[in-house]
Amino acid sequence: MNTSPPIVSIRSLGRYDPAEEAAGYVLSGLPGARDVESMPESWKVVELLLRETLAPLGAAPGENPLSTVAPRGGTIAVKPNFVRHFNECPSAGPEAVVTSWTVLYPLIDMALDCVGREGRVVLADAPMHDCVPERILERGCFRDVVAHYARAGYDLCFIDLRQESWRVTEGVIRDRVQLAGDPAGYVVCDLGTDSEFEGLGKALKRLRGTSFDDADTRSHHTPGRHEYLISKTILLADLILNVARLKTHGKIGITAATKNIVGINGNKNWLPHWRSGFPRYGGDQYSSMTVGRLFRYIVLSALWPFLRNGFVARIVSCILGAVHRTGIRGLAGGGAWHGNDTTWRMVCDLNKALVYCDSTGKVHPERMTRSILHIVDAVEAGQGEGPLGPEPVRVGFIGCSTDPVMLDAACMRLVGIDPSLVPYMVRASRVTRLPFTRSGGGSSMISIDGSFSQPDGIVSRARLSPPSGWHEMFAGEGDSD
């Protein structure tokens, strides 16, 4: 019998509480004063999960499992997946897109109990530019919860880490609104030659971010310099709870703990998502050159420089609308297929920054700088056209680990996906410059509902349908135009 604490812990959740019910339970009591036996089953599962995973950190039986990694009076940052307030899938609700309140609220409650009235818990994320976070907060009755805790002297808040938001129509940015951003500010973290983009050479000139100003993206990624704008609130936290939602993802196949770190960056246009053009020319925008794809590429390439100007963008929006109907949406997003060779590099870089960068932006290769706990919400996973248009599928588990890559691999196996077929998983496990996972060597002990297993012994309990461009990797099918 194995008595060592697991590296990855997974527990089944028997009942799913809607956001309103989860908030209702929060309002019924205070941190540290709840009767465990009267807790909803979902709360018990989260607490068991944390106690099991955090056992190596030395919390005494009955003590808050977070107490050894976040001091009384400290700050805990909870990083959810609040990517967008709506779902592009017409048959599914917005809940499938974001981390569920069923998972967030017991974590927040436990975090507040840990830091006490002298400390602070911050819910923080940088969603997509067109996201309205207040809609997500409203569904979870978050403002009522904040007021409830405040009356008892606890400090809980939400911070939108974005510097600006957009109003987007037909793929065209109509308006830009400057936001307050992180009140603690940001730091520029330059990974330099330790970046996964180092060595790409001329291909760096093809990098594209999230706006039409691709020159801005490229200015932060040149040979020997690879910069990211990281939230200082995140970097100053004593503990980070990274709470991801398990979903398929057009650019990297599937998103969970490792990819969820992207939301610590304040300016998404600093983040390369794809490289323009076709593979034979150093791009990864499309898998192959077809007449339709070439047409869309030529049209958008011609219009691209003019779209940086909002007024001009509105003038040419009618042209874009016509091309959109021929598939420009896929072009504008770019790189939504299994051969995307850009996004995984950006994801790995941000994980490196989180682990090795201090609050001034300096990278410390010799040591990890902070405590991070990764949690994956797979009560309902998202399949199909994730991450923005996922169809919900009942999976019924929550995963937890201090290692994001190993946690993601276990979650993938549980939903019928072989991690060795997902490029970013393979590459993340092989990172040698500023490694942030132990998955490259040794065994990884996994506990599933209290029973220990090795990765190859995990039995899938569901099978997610892949996003377009990933059928070949998920199911051995060919890619289609």
**Per-residue pLDDT tens digits of the chain, which is 481 residues long:** 344 566 899 998 876 677 777 888 888 889 988 877 777 888 888 888 888 878 777 788 878 889 888 899 999 999 999 999 999 999 999 888 999 998 999 999 999 999 999 999 999 999 999 999 999 999 999 999 999 999 999 999 999 999 999 887 665 667 789 999 999 999 999 999 999 999 999 999 999 988 767 889 999 999 999 999 999 999 999 999 999 999 999 999 999 999 999 999 999 999 999 998 888 888 898 876 665 666 667 666 666 666 665 566 566 555 555 555 544 444 434 889 999 999 999 999 999 999 999 999 999 998 887 899 999 999 899 999 999 999 999 998 999 999 999 999 999 999 999 999 899 999 999 999 999 998 765 556 898 988 888 888 898 988 999 998 898 777 644 343 3
- Beta partners for 11? 398
Is 213 inside any structural domain?
no
pLDDT at 333 (0 to 100): 41
Is 247 inside any structural domain?
yes
Max CA pair span of the chain? 69
Is 450 inside any structural domain?
yes
**Residue 306: both structure tokens together:** 């003019």
Domain count, the chain: 1
Is 24 inside any structural domain?
yes
CA dist 354 and 363 (Å) reads: 10
Contact 394, 425 (CB under 8 A): no
CA dist 228 and 230 (Å) reads: 6
In terms of Cα–Cα distance, which of 80, 369, 366 is closest to 236?
Answer: 369
Place of tokens 């309103």: 20
Is 136 inside any structural domain?
yes
In terms of Cα–Cα distance, which of 228, 216, 218, 217 is closest to 191?
Answer: 228
Name residues whose C-beta falls within 8 Å of residue 442's C-beta, 6 or more positions apart in sequence.
Answer: none
Alpha-carbon distances of 410 from 105, 351, 372, 430, rounded to whole Å: 24, 19, 18, 17
Is 435 inside any structural domain?
yes
Is 106 inside any structural domain?
yes
Phi, psi of 428 (to 5 degrees): -65, -35
pLDDT at 36 (0 to 100): 73
**Residue 302: both structure tokens together:** 């011609």
Domain with 147, as residue range(s), is: 8-192+228-266+372-475
Is 445 inside any structural domain?
yes
